[in-house]
Amino acid sequence: MKRIGVYVCHCGTNIAPHVDVKEVADFAAQLPGVVMARDYDYMCSDPGQDLIKEDIKELGLTRVVVASCSPLMHEVTFRRACQGAGLNPFFFQMANIREQVSWVTEESEKATERAKHAVIAAIYRVANHEPLSVREVPVKPTALVVGGGIAGIEAALRVAESGKKVYLVEREPSIGGYMAQLFKTFPTLDCAA
């Protein structure tokens, strides 16, 4: 039986004024496998991370969900917190209720409902996580972009700008795709090619 802990972050005025974080936490507490759900001001702070660590040890949590910002911001932070308490860091799942909910939903009721859905998804997902371990493998920092249309050209340039070698392949004799077949583009009337 999984023992899931859920944490809903206020993020100061970023989430709490739009999403009823207490309601989301109370809702999460009723879901299968959830042994504890709470809301907290700043989950990424040291005291926020300590909460997770203490609960893992004291309540025997085997899975952790944090509903807060984008995983890009703090997924690694929370994985480390789990690991620090002896839990496999991949028994963690983040639900993004800031960038994908509070920042883009004006009505508080709708934002709260959306946040609940994000939390349900994270809970069901984390319950099925398998323990993983990190291993290092040699990687060639080289990319292959298939298709030399405007999207492929743009992708190839972006990767190249980050310092990687890029191979751009195109089945036609020239690159540019449909864009290169146009005469002018609206509204600037630039030459498409």
Residues found near ligand SF4 in the complex (CB under 6 A) = 9, 11, 14, 42-44, 68-69, 73-74, 98
163: left (phi over 0), alpha (psi -120 to 50) or beta: left
Hey, is 35 helix, strand or coil?
Answer: strand
Q: Which is nearer to ligand SF4, 14 or 112 (CB)?
A: 14
Distance CA 160, CA 137 (A): 22
CA 2 to chain centre: 22
Query: 103 or 150, CB closer to ligand SF4?
Result: 103
Report the residue number, 18 or 98, with the smaller CB distance to ligand SF4: 98
Shortest CB 61 distance to ligand SF4, Å: 18
CB closer to ligand SF4 out of 70 and 185: 70
- The upper half-sphere exposure of residue 74, i.e. CA atoms within 13 Å in the direction of its Cβ, equals 24
Name the minimum Å distance from CB 94 to ligand SF4: 9
Residue 17 Cβ vs ligand SF4, minimum distance, rounded to whole Å: 13
CB of 16 to ligand SF4, least distance (A): 10
Nearest partner of 102 among 84, 114, 120, 93, judged by Cα: 114
By C-beta, is 42 or 124 nearer to ligand SF4? 42
Q: Which of 138, 119, 111, 143 is nearest to 64 (CA)?
A: 119
CB of 157 to ligand SF4, least distance (A): 31
